[in-house]
Every structure is written in C-alpha cells, then in structure tokens.
Structure 1
Amino acid sequence: MEMKFTTANFEEEVLKSEIPVLVDFYADWCGPCQMMAPVIGQLAGEYEGKVKIGKLNVDENPDIAVQYKVMSIPTMIIFRNGEVFSKEVGASSKKEVEKAIGRAL
C-alpha cells in the first residue's frame, strides 16, 4: 500500500526504516506528477514488504523538499539506511523506477 509521508512521520517512516524507501515528491497541480501516480500505486503493491513506497506533497511539507534539494517535481528519492541512495528528477517509466528500486535492494 502506498504511504503518505509528511514532516511529522518522515523520520520514523523513511529515515529509520529497515527496508529501502521510495519517496515521490509531488504536488496536486503538477501534471507529470499525476502521470506518475498510477505507477507509484502499482509499485507500492508489487514491492510491499520489500520497499516502502509513498508520496510527499511538497506544498504541504516544504521543509523536507528543501532539506533534500527538490527543485522540480516529480522527484523520486530512494532512501536506504536513512541516507539518500538515488534521486531521479522528472517523470519516468515504470521500468526505470523498477531499475532504481532493484539497485537499492
């Protein structure tokens, strides 16, 4: 299941996670972000238990976006052991996102 990350749960759910975490930085008004939404939803189901996958709204949580230098959206950051493992900017195909997840596993 796709998670919703916020400033309140980011440390617990992302930085302290025992498994890799993919965070999709998005905004409701962003067209390419909306194109990525079904892909993120599918991947969340397929990788359940192996990778945490969720979204972080940059308008509602600007501090996290600034902290990780998210300048344009969508941006997907994979965290592993509390550190940034990889960062992809822009809309990607499901296959590209799966490759990035595969490298983190």
Structure 2
Amino acid sequence: MAWVYLIIAGIFEIGWAIALKYTEGFSRPWPTVFFGVSMTLSVWMLALALKTIPVGTGYAIWTGIGAAGTAILGMILFGESHDGWRLFSIALIVIGIVALKISSS
C-alpha cells in the first residue's frame, strides 16, 4: 500500500506545481485553494508512504514523479518546449524512478 500512497503523493505534487502557475502569485483564490489542498495531500501521502519505504528512495521517486509529470503537463498546458533533449531528460527521470522501485523490491 505504501507504493500506492507514494504514487498518489507524486500525482498531488504535480497538481500543486501546476496550480502554482495558475495562482498568479497567489492572487487568484481558487487556484490558490487547489494549490494548498494538493500540497497538503501530497506531503501527507508521502508521510504515509515513508512509514515503510526508505526515505531516500521515497523522496527521490516523489520528486521524480513531480518533476516528470509537471514537465509533461507544462508542455501540454503551457506550450513549453518539447525538443528532443527535454524529452530525453524526462525519460531519464522515468528510468531513474523505475530503477529505484526495482532496487527497493
């Protein structure tokens, strides 16, 4: 169940990072509320996951999910660059996440 919590935590991390863009410096109330709720749930789920997953592994996977997911959504939602090097870098993050999971089994 800890791995499920960790994946959910990563998804909420993507949520708060994207919401942060929409808050426009915390001047828009609903995106700000979504940011706060997503951040709280992300950290809470991470804490639950870290009860059994080693902290180094859990934190690296949590940030990796957040970084890769936010980069991908940035390309989709905000028209950010999707050149080959950027996609290659995201792929490396995903490979790192998978390798950490495999090495923790």
Q: Which has the higher strand share?
A: 1
Bigger radius of gyration? 2
TM-score, with length taken from structure 1: 0.29
TM-score, with length taken from structure 2: 0.29
Q: Which has the higher helix share?
A: 2
